[in-house]
Amino acid sequence: MKITVRPADAADLSALLALYSELNPDDGPLPHGTAEAVWAAIRGQHGRTVLVAEADGAVAGTADCVVMPNLTRGGKAILFVENVVVAGRFQRRSVGRQLMEAAVLLGESAGCYKVQLLAADDAYVHRFYEACGFEALAHGFRRYVG
């Protein structure tokens, strides 16, 4: 199986929404107009890249990457990764690993000094990120506001 990772384009919206429904199955679907407006905002945001992995002619996974400029560490930015998901039928076939490698390369090319993400409290997910070269070095905090 050949896997290709690339930046998402305008035509990928429906595939992304399908992946996100696997990531958060309790979320209801976004109205079409809302999804298109949010997708346009994402695509227009400087420093943001939504990566997609294609396998067997289908969008098999995604990772949303944001470069955040930074006034510490000599002005080197940080790459944040969010909404990582691989479709169930493509899991354990290197799709996720290739997405994460592409995210790290994106961070390196943007001059970032680190790539950072939060992971679900799930041993399988933690093992995956560790296998991709990430270390659990901090305790994350979150406060939902809406």
Centre a 10 Å sphere on the Cβ of residue 109 and count the other Cβ atoms it contains: 10
Convert the pLDDT of each residue in 50-100 to its tens digit. Answer: 999 999 899 999 999 999 999 999 999 999 999 999 999 999 999 999 999
Mean pLDDT in residue range 11-31: 95
Structural domain contains residue 30: yes
CATH code for position 43: 3.40.630.30
22 Ramachandran zone, left/alpha/beta (phi>0; psi -120 to 50): alpha
Structural domain contains residue 140: no
Structural domain range at position 127 = 3-131
Structural domain contains residue 145: no
Number of domains in the chain: 1
pLDDT at 67: 98
Cβ–Cβ < 8 Å for 33, 25: no
Kindly report the pTM of this predicted structure.
0.94
Tokens of 32: 């079409």
Structural domain contains residue 136: no
Structural domain contains residue 146: no
Convert the pLDDT of each residue in 88-131 to its tens digit. Answer: 999 999 999 999 999 999 999 999 999 999 998 889 999 999 99
Alpha helices in the chain (DSSP H): 13-23, 32-44, 95-109, 123-131
Structural domain contains residue 143: no
